[in-house]
A and B are shown apart, each in its own frame.
Chain A
């Protein structure tokens, strides 16, 4: 690799003046956000503020109506190959896990590397084992999703996304469908991932997690990014009234 200085500056994800409408409803209003490689972003905000919409636009699960999305230097457009190419590099973890119930844990993890990345079976299997190990459920490999607890299913979902060896990971409230005792097992995996330098954009209301790993916390309201600050500043010195109100609700005081 040559020196960094010769490379043009390329953030992992960049949103410029992003607009999104659902019919006439304006869900995202000129959102601007730039996420560096290796950066960990936590997105929070009240229900309906557009958090999911924003991160789902990044991998085209929602189509934006205005502005520009650039992922790893490539601008997202309507071209199918372009969209699939970006999805290959961007993993996503959903609130409701969304595992494939008719496939074993192992198959869930192998299917995309084999079909999308055209990896041979043996290699896909080794990769799957490696990541199942990493999310600490190697013993569940031959089970079906319906035979696992919620926390285990979410860890499989993380492993499934990681098996594609993505460069960016999106999390949409990965712990909010879980019973309290399972939340930490999923957060632990996410902390490990963060410590290894993965670029992460996490929509979550787990403020402890935000304090521990986030480089920046983003607060959204009414389809706009209202505040953007490093966690210590965000939690202690927020100047914005809406942010303070929201924080007092989620932190419970």
Chain B
């Protein structure tokens, strides 16, 4: 018996059981107590409220929304808003981070200085202050009446008005998928056939793939367009306000810019670290073979740097995803704000928070899973201590 307790595996298993057991007991006790308290206040627990209409509205939605829609629809809107804000924020942050990170690794001293200053400033100002800062700036832009038009868009204190296709929601989503494919396919082809075709031939295939995907997107948009309306709906001034197109509210823009700039300062450091991790030796070897600096960058430096960056980048992305909950500070109806409003209006605190946690867990676990897959697929094989 004593010897069994000394066994390392048995010990670990036992500790696990104890840990999970006490956690389960804690959660169970919490639920029982909460149920009794809620019952005393006359609030019925359960998820029936999901099918009731909310009676309130959201200020931004990619899906049609009215106050008559049920709670579950609003949760969906919230998740989509969060994903939308998250993906715009992450893409922009990655763009900013890559540029600043490359500036910091460049041999140009001015670029280095600018990069370092950027990181020092924006990494050290709390995100919420940056959100407020951009929100203040945007809401002080000219009013719709005074705003100038550029490329069919209006930048105003009431938001950014952009042309939007007059198409159904599903067709729009499908078209977006096709556009993503138009970007992803050429990259994928480039990766899988890096050595199998001469450069020119591969470029042809990549262009063909992109063209096919873009054509598909156009066809989907044409088929899904709403009857009797022009394909693109342009915003135009009507009276005191702009009508038509899609209004990106100031709340969204402020959040996206803040996440891009704040996240970019962290990603810049990750990018810099990734490039620093690439051994000088590999690049010298590539140069000594007569490869051009650009080829050395794309074939050796970037692929190796990406491998060093990706695990840390995944963490950063998960973190930035959670940062979208700042939306509540300026009143953007992201998932968190919808949950907060739901709690206010329905009193279903526990259920709503449960849905919130499950939703974020699902988003972030999927994000992490995707990155794990990529990491595994590109991991360097064998022992890397040598060479």
Task: Provide the A129-159 mask, 1 if CB < 8 A to any CB of B, else 0.
Answer: 0000000000000011111101001000100
Q: Let me know if A244 is at the binding interface, CB within 8 A.
A: no
Q: Let me know if B290 is at the binding interface, CB within 8 A.
A: yes
A84, A98, A147: which contacts B285 (Cβ < 8 A)? Answer: A98
- Set of chain B residues within 8 Å of A91, measured between Cβ atoms: 288-289
B196, B378, B387: which contacts A98 (Cβ < 8 A)? Answer: B387
- Given A59-B288, A112-B289, A146-B381, A101 contacting B387 (CB threshold 8 A): yes
Of all chain A residues, the one with the shortest Cβ separation from B288 is A92
B32 to A: closest C-beta gap in Å: 55
Report the number of A-B residue pairs with Cβ-Cβ less than 8 Å.
108
A129 to B: closest C-beta gap in Å: 15
Interface contact B292-A148, CB-CB below 8 Å: no
A242 to B: closest C-beta gap in Å: 30
For chain B, which range describes its interface: under 10, 10 to 19, 20 to 34, or 35 or more residues?
20 to 34
A90, A101, A115, A120: which contacts B291 (Cβ < 8 A)? Answer: A115
Interface contact A114-B195, CB-CB below 8 Å: yes
Of all chain A residues, the one with the shortest Cβ separation from B386 is A150
Task: Provide the A81-103 mask, 1 if CB < 8 A to any CB of B, else 0.
Answer: 00011011011101011111110
Of all chain B residues, the one with the shortest Cβ separation from A144 is B381
Interface contact A61-B307, CB-CB below 8 Å: no
Within 8 A of A (CB), among B353-387: 378, 380-384, 386-387
For chain A, which range describes its interface: under 10, 10 to 19, 20 to 34, or 35 or more residues?
35 or more
Interface contact B285-A164, CB-CB below 8 Å: no
- Set of chain A residues within 8 Å of B288, measured between Cβ atoms: 59, 61, 87, 90-92, 161
Q: Let me know if A160 is at the binding interface, CB within 8 A.
A: yes
Interface contact A100-B286, CB-CB below 8 Å: yes
- Set of chain B residues within 8 Å of A212, measured between Cβ atoms: none
Interface contact A111-B303, CB-CB below 8 Å: no
Interface contact A112-B290, CB-CB below 8 Å: yes
Q: Let me know if B300 is at the binding interface, CB within 8 A.
A: yes
Q: Let me know if B304 is at the binding interface, CB within 8 A.
A: yes
Task: Provide the A48-92 mask, 1 if CB < 8 A to any CB of B, else 0.
Answer: 000000000001010000000000000000001000110110111
Q: Let me know if A173 is at the binding interface, CB within 8 A.
A: no
- Set of chain A residues within 8 Å of B120, measured between Cβ atoms: none
Of all chain B residues, the one with the shortest Cβ separation from A146 is B382
B197 to A: closest C-beta gap in Å: 8
Task: Provide the A21-61 mask, 1 if CB < 8 A to any CB of B, else 0.
Answer: 00000000000000000000000000000000000000101
Of all chain A residues, the one with the shortest Cβ separation from B284 is A61
- Set of chain A residues within 8 Å of B304, measured between Cβ atoms: 101-102
- Chain A positions near chain B (C-beta within 8 angstroms): 59, 61, 80, 84-85, 87-88, 90-92, 94, 96-102, 107, 110-112, 114-116, 118, 120-121, 143-148, 150, 153, 157, 160-161, 164
3 nearest CB pairs, A to B: A146-B382, A147-B382, A98-B285
